Amino acid sequence: MNASVPQEPGAAILDLWHPVAIREDLRAGETTRTRLLDRDVAVGLDDDGSPTAWLLTGAQHDAAATPRLLPTIAAYEFAWTSLGTPPEEIFKIPECDEPDRRNLATFSVGVHVSAPRAVENFLDLGHFPYVHAGILGQAPRTEVADYRVEVDPETNELWARDCEFFQPQAAAASTDGQMSQYTYRVPHPYCVMLYKSCPTDESRFDVIALFCQALSADRVLFHTFMSVIDEVSSDAQIRAFQTLVSAQDKPILENQTPRLLPLEVGDETSVRSDRASVAYRRWLGDLGVDYGVIPRGAHR
């Protein structure tokens, strides 16, 4: 029988680490309130300067009540917490440990869409010439060449490899634009990153990541993070690029209906260039993700 769409997240989501604040925004003695999975969460710093988070429930808005402390870690310029039992460590981005890297939280924006829709958009090459015209793509150069998708059997992470797309302003010297190579990695149902050849060193990769903070099933804070080898640009210049790209995605994401991502094959029409998206939907289903999605067999 058809089940309805669940309103409460199950273990597949509860037990994950979720970003709740930019680490740099936290100040000693100050508390930031935010939302996570439809709950009120407070984030602050403890005496060692490590982030700490606790759940605000009805009773705990009362100063006398003991707040329920949540597990908290700092990683990749963000404070992360969990409402369930999280793994000991968050997924690794080994590149971030290289000494000549600049790691920075680049841009965060609230978007009225589910986290999986936002991740799927990040995994998508076909929208570049339409949504990011003149930057990441340019009509009529719209073809998406075939690429590979695989689930790493050891880590159970989803990868899309050998992705290639024509980009009009990939290099300052080129007038015709050039083909850019991408690798995508989905290490977490609500997080995705891409590896792109570093312009100053072809053998190394810049990392651009999207960490979604699911405020509720259909609202996210769209946090972006970059780990780059760049000795020239200012932080503000690096952030400006990501600001532009994220802000261009926002109106598209907010015009998608339904806001939850349908996992049933056939609810939306997919073509060959959507194989990363199709694989992501299946992967979410296999992980038992039930929040931010319309599960297989559920009616809307």
Partner 1 sequence: MLRLYDYLLSANCYKPRLLLSMLDVPHDLVPVEFYPGREHESAAFRKINPLGHIPVIEDDGFILRDAHAILVYLAGEYDPARTWYPTADPRLLGGVASWLQFAEGTADTASAARLCVNFGYEFDLEACVAGAHRLFRVLDEHLWFREQEGLDWVAPAAAPTVADIALFPDVALSEEGGISREDYPSLRRWTERVQRLPGFIDMPGVLPVAPLPYPPT
Partner 2 sequence: MTAPDPASLLHPVAAGADLMPRHVVRSRLLGRRLAIWKADDGFVNVWEDRCIHRGMRLSAGVNDGAELVCQYHGWRYSNRNGNCVYIPAHPGEAPAGGLRVATFACAEKYGLVWSGGSPDAEPPSIPALEGGEVLVLRSLPVNAPAALVLEGLAGYSFRPTAALGTDTPITTSADAGNPHSVTVTATTTGAESSVVFFIQPAEAGRCVIRPVLSAAPAPEERLATLRHHARALEELRAQLEDSSPAEAAVALPLATLEPLRSGGTAGAAGGRHPQLQVRVARKWVCAEGIAAFDLAPVAGELPSFQPGAHLDVHLPNGLVRQYSLTNGPDLTGVYRIGVKLVPEGGGGSRCMHQSVHEGDALDISTPRNNFTLRRDAARTLLIAGGIGITPLLAMAQTLARQGLTWELHYFAQSDDHVAFDEMLAPLAEGVTTYCGLSPQETGAELTRITRHYGPMQHAYLCGPGPMIDTARSIAAEAGWPTEAVHFEYFKNESARDDSSAFDVTLARRDQTLRIGAGMSLLNGLRNAGIDLPSSCEQGACGTCIATVLGGEPDHQDVYLNDSERAAANRMLTCVSRAKSGQLVLDL
Distance CA(279)–CA(285), nearest Å, equals: 10
Least distance to partner 1 from the beta carbon of 220, Å?
Answer: 11
Cis before residue 258, ω within 30 degrees of 0? yes
Should residue 123 be labelled a site residue for partner 2 when binding is judged by CB under 8 A? Answer: no
User: Is 256 a residue that touches partner 1 (CB under 8 A)?
Assistant: no
* Residue 278 interacts with partner 2 (CB under 8 A): yes or no: yes
- Rg (C-alpha) for the chain, rounded Å, is 20
Residue 166, C-beta contacts closer than 8 angstroms, at least 6 positions apart:
137, 138, 141, 143, 177, 178, 179, 180
**Under rule CB under 8 A, residue 271 binds partner 2:** yes
Instruction: For the CB of residue 254, give the shortest distance to partner 1 in the complex, in Å.
Output: 6
Taking CB under 8 A as the binding criterion, the range among 66-74, 95-103, 238-246, 275-283 that sits at the site for partner 1 is 238-246
CB 25 within 8 A of CB 78: no
Taking the least distance from each CB to partner 2, the nearer of 79 and 263 is 263
Cβ count within 10 A of residue 66: 8
Q: Least distance (Å) from partner 1 to the CB of residue 250?
A: 6
Under the criterion CB under 8 A, does residue 189 sit at the interface with partner 2?
Answer: no
Residue 288 binds which entry of partner 2, partner 1, none, with Cβ cut-offs from 5 to 8 Å by kind?
none
Question: What is the chain's length?
Answer: 300
- Give the helix ranges, DSSP H, for 2-87: 11-14
Show contacts with partner 1 in window 68-127 (CB under 8 A): 105, 107-110, 112
Instruction: Give the separation between CA 25 and CA 31, rounded to whole angstroms.
Output: 10
Should residue 271 be labelled a site residue for partner 1 when binding is judged by CB under 8 A?
Answer: no
* Binding test (CB under 8 A) with partner 1, winner from 97, 146, 254, 286: 254
- Give me the residues that bind partner 1 (CB under 8 A), please: 22, 25, 34, 105, 107-110, 112, 221, 236, 239-240, 243-244, 247-248, 250-251, 254-255
